[in-house]
Amino acid sequence: MAEPKENLQMEKIVSLCKRRGFVFQSSEIYGGINGFWDYGPLGAELKRNVKELWWNAMTRQREDVAGLEATIIMSPAIWKASGHVDTFSDPMCDCKKCKKRFRADQLCEDQGLTLIKTPAGKYELPAGTKCTSCDSKELTEPRPFNLMFQTYVGPAATEADIAYLRPETAQAIFAQFKNVLETSRQRVPFGIAQVGKAFRNEVTPRNFTFRSREFEQMELEFFIKPDEVIEAIHGSVATVPAIGHPGEPQPNWGWQAWHQYWVEERVRFYEGIGLSRATLGFHVQTKEELAHYARACTDILFKFPFSKKDENGNVKGDELEGIAARSDFDLSQHQRFSGKPMGVFDEELRAAWAKLPKEKSDDLWKRYYDHRKNYLTKSAKPDETPEQISKQATDDANGLARGQYIPHVIEPSAGVDRLILALIANAYSEETKTDDKGKSETSVTMKFHPRVAPFKAGIFPLLKNKPELVKKALEVRDLLRPWMNVFYDESGSIGKRYARQDEAGTPFCVTIDFDTLGEKPELLDTVTLRYRDDSKQERLKISELRDWLLARIR
């Protein structure tokens, strides 16, 4: 669980997280449990703020997204259909000498090597790979290790009772697609959003909370019309500039425009909570990296203190979120495995199709047919014949004329815990001051964006033994409390109280002093407002305080 010694910045962050109550080791009094973390008082507030901001941006502020809150344990058939039972695994290998276990791809990466994948889909360690713990080159062959946590539902505990803790929140969205569509009065294009726990039995959890075994995800599945449908209705699919935000969604957008839109929307979200573009990076997955059904996937990265440098000395960053264009794979899989139709009916398509010149409808039919046949062939069950597959693809393509299709999906999938770690790393700022006697002291300020900061304001009476000051300070606290999370503190010198709030990341502090009580009559009912980041102070009327703060924390 210890961070590598050379990563001093991470050590400082981990230590601050414990000291100030952002993150604790789970089950610490029993020696901890690897890959599990608890959020303390400040961390819990930070996390809540982040999830609420995501939920607001993704659902409440939009017309075209509905929410969902599904169970963690679902029918195991879901994980069969999604492919997780068969293929959700990482290659694992062991050192025969010291018995240490590794994720084979990470072990190679740590030594500047690349794990070999054979054409048959097996993994092999490249020559020279050694154990990073004892240097032995005696390592076992990499073998797949399924990352899903298993449990049993009911008292029997037989093979038939096996269930899984969900390894992602997304699948529930696909499984409930029809129910949400029917109850939300949405029509494609529209999205379903969910925030919740996910579990992965990671081979080697590491980098603090970055790779945990229990974590939270914030996922959106945004359902769109296939490009062939857009072309049938609008004549062509819009082309958008390859760089930048493509603007307000348009009816003739195909998957590329929607994918780019969501990448840029997500970057704006990160910028809005204090992660500037300079702190982020991107990884556009190559053809080889993409899943067979995916058309594109762009990862948004954050430059963590542990992120590695590339060959040119640049830090690329590690994944915060992946935005994938997943075609119609997921809904198609659930349709095939459940036998329940997952397609939608689109009157606009039906009407447009009837008016298409034959040449055009033949062309669109053929493209849709090829896409469906390709999907059906790649995910065929062993007993399915090529004739059956062709017949199914023909039926699917014939559906277009009746206004029927299976929606495609763009999936922005973010990890809450990784984002929290990014926000903490980004906010961490140290300052060392040396006094007249040459004694130096280092103080930490957590420069969180006010939107995510655990506390929005610290409220202090200048002196705790002056009842009038305390009374007024409590009044100010109670005035703000219904609107925001504030922290009342009357103990210690005012300087100490400021320092404590700086470490907690509280953006503003409000001090009630003798002028508040009218010592200087013109300052009656005003307070000292102090800014965290530059310690500047100004005077503000109590009557204006709430709106002043609200304007800065929302």
Interatomic CA distance for residues 76 and 220, integer angstroms:
22
Interatomic CA distance for residues 302 and 318, integer angstroms:
5
Residue 217 binds to ligand ATP (criterion: CB under 6 A): yes
Stretch that binds ligand ATP, among 313-321, 339-347, 451-459, 479-487 (CB under 6 A): 313-321
Interatomic CA distance for residues 1 and 11, integer angstroms:
11
Interatomic CA distance for residues 427 and 409, integer angstroms:
34
Whichever of 194 and 212 has its CB closer to ligand ATP, that residue is: 212
Whichever of 175 and 232 has its CB closer to ligand ATP, that residue is: 175
Q: Is 7 helix (H, G, I), strand (E, B) or coil?
A: coil
Strand order in the sheet with 486-488: 486-488, 457-461, 508-512, 526-531, 537-541
Stretch that binds ligand ATP, among 236-244, 259-267, 317-325, 475-483 (CB under 6 A): 317-325
The least CB distance from residue 82 to ligand ATP, in Å, is: 12
Q: Which residue is nearest to ligand ATP (CB)?
A: 415
Q: 274 has which bridge partners?
A: none
Token readout for 470 is 């305390």
The least CB distance from residue 388 to ligand ATP, in Å, is: 32
Nearest 5°: the CA angle 376, 381, 387 is 55
Amino acid symbol at 344: V
Residue 200 binds to ligand ATP (criterion: CB under 6 A): yes
Whichever of 124 and 319 has its CB closer to ligand ATP, that residue is: 319
Residue 36 binds to ligand ATP (criterion: CB under 6 A): no
Among 23, 423, 483, smallest CA distance to 209 is for: 23
Whichever of 64 and 202 has its CB closer to ligand ATP, that residue is: 202
Interatomic CA distance for residues 276 and 447, integer angstroms:
13
**Gyration radius of the chain over CA positions:** 28
Q: Which of 224, 320, 420, 452 contacts ligand ATP by CB under 6 A?
A: 320
Among 404, 403, 366, 411, smallest CA distance to 255 is for: 411
DSSP assignment letter at 139: B
- How many residues appear in the chain? 554
Contacts of ligand ATP in 479-518 (CB under 6 A)? none
The least CB distance from residue 285 to ligand ATP, in Å, is: 10
Residue 215 binds to ligand ATP (criterion: CB under 6 A): yes
| Residue partners of 439: CB distance under 8 A and separation at least 6 | none
Residue 323 binds to ligand ATP (criterion: CB under 6 A): no
Whichever of 200 and 336 has its CB closer to ligand ATP, that residue is: 200
Whichever of 106 and 338 has its CB closer to ligand ATP, that residue is: 106
Residue 379 binds to ligand ATP (criterion: CB under 6 A): no
Whichever of 407 and 415 has its CB closer to ligand ATP, that residue is: 415
Q: Which of 11, 52, 64, 202 contacts ligand ATP by CB under 6 A?
A: 202
Residue 403 binds to ligand ATP (criterion: CB under 6 A): no
Tell me the pairing of strands 318-325 and 296-302. antiparallel
Q: Which of 414, 459, 476, 545 contacts ligand ATP by CB under 6 A?
A: 414
Residue 413 binds to ligand ATP (criterion: CB under 6 A): yes
CB atoms within 10 A of CB 350: 15
Q: 541 has which bridge partners?
A: 526
Q: Which of 49, 212, 333, 501 contacts ligand ATP by CB under 6 A?
A: 212
Residue 446 binds to ligand ATP (criterion: CB under 6 A): no
Whichever of 246 and 317 has its CB closer to ligand ATP, that residue is: 317
Interatomic CA distance for residues 527 and 472, integer angstroms:
10
The least CB distance from residue 22 to ligand ATP, in Å, is: 16
By CB under 6 A, name the binding residues for ligand ATP: 168, 200, 202, 211-212, 215, 217, 319-322, 413-415, 417-418
